[in-house]
Structure 1
Amino acid sequence: MSEAQNQQHPIGVYLKIWLLLFVLSTASYMVDYFHVESYLRWSLIIIFMLLKAGLIVAVFMHMMWERLAFVYAILLPPLLILTFIGIGTLEADYTFLTRSIFFFKGAQ
C-alpha cells in the first residue's frame, strides 16, 4: 500500500510527451504555413488540438494512472454536453428549415 502512495513516474515519460506536444504544435503551425484551405485545414487543426488536449489530460493530469470510475466521472459529463450540443444543432437546422418553408410559403 505504501508503494502505491509514493509511486513516481520516470521523467522520460514526461519528456517524450513534451516532445510529442512540440511535434503536434509544429504540425498545427505547418497547416497555416503551407496555406492548407477548406475543411481539410479545420479538420487538421481540430485533430491536432484534440490530440494535444488528450495527451495533456492523460499524462500531466495523471488520468492514465487513475481508476476507471474517476476517469468516467471526469470525461463523461463533457462528452454528454457535446452530444446534447450536437442534438441541439440538428434540431436548430430542422427548426430553421421549417420556418423558412412556412414564411416563404406565406409570402407568395
Structure 2
Amino acid sequence: MANAAVHIEGQQPSLHIHAPDALASGATHAKGQQHPIKLYLVVWGWLFVLSTCSYLVDYFGLHGHLRWSLILLFMVLKAGLIVAVFMHMAWERLALVYAVLLPPVLVLVFVAIMVFESDYTHLIRAISFASPT
C-alpha cells in the first residue's frame, strides 16, 4: 500500500505538466467532426429528388407490383441517405454499423421466408379443410 502511495505521488507532477495539453486536445475533441455544408445540401437535393419521384409514382397512376416496388425503393434510398449522413452512420466504426443495420436486414430476410412459406401453408389448408364433394 505504501508502494502505491509513492507511485501515485510520483505520477502527480506529470499530470500537472500535461494538464494544459489534455485540456487543449479535449477542447478540439469536444468541437466534434465538422462536415462541409455542401455534403448536407447535396443530400437534401437527393432527398428532394427521391421524394418527387415517389410522388410521381402516384401522379402517373402506376399500379400493382411496379408501384409498390418503386415506392419501397425510394423509401429505402431516402432512409439510407438519412441514416448515413444525418445520423453520421457513414463515419462510424464497422461494428456499430453492423449492430444497427444487421437486425433490420435479418428481419426482412425472415419476412421474405414467411412470405414464401405462406403460399405453401395456404395451399395445405385449402387442401386439408376443403369440403368433400
Instruction: Bin the TM-score by the shorter chain.
Output: 0.7 to 0.9
Q: Which amino acid aligns with 1:107?
A: P
Distance 1:97 1:22 in 2: 44
Task: State the Cα deviation string for residues 52-92 of structure 1 (Å, max 9, x = none).
Answer: 01100110110101111100000001111111122222222
* TM-score of the pair, normalised by structure 2: 0.72
Structure 1: gaps (5+ residues): none
The alignment covers a number of residue pairs equal to: 106
Correspondence for 1:42: 68
**2:55 corresponds to 1:29:** yes
Distance 1:37 1:84 in 2: 26
Q: After the TM superposition, which segments of 4 or more aligned residues of structure 1 sit over 6 Å from their partners?
A: none
Correspondence for 1:100: 126
Structure 2: gaps (5+ residues): 1-24
Identity of aligned residues (%): 62
Correspondence for 1:78: 104
Give the superposition deviation at 1:9.
Answer: 0.6
Distance 1:95 1:80, change over 3 A: same
Q: Which amino acid aligns with 2:77?
A: L
Decide which structure has the larger Cα Rg and report it.
2
Larger RCO: Structure 1 or Structure 2 (Cα < 8 Å, ≥ 6 residues apart)? 1
RMSD of aligned alpha carbons = 1.8
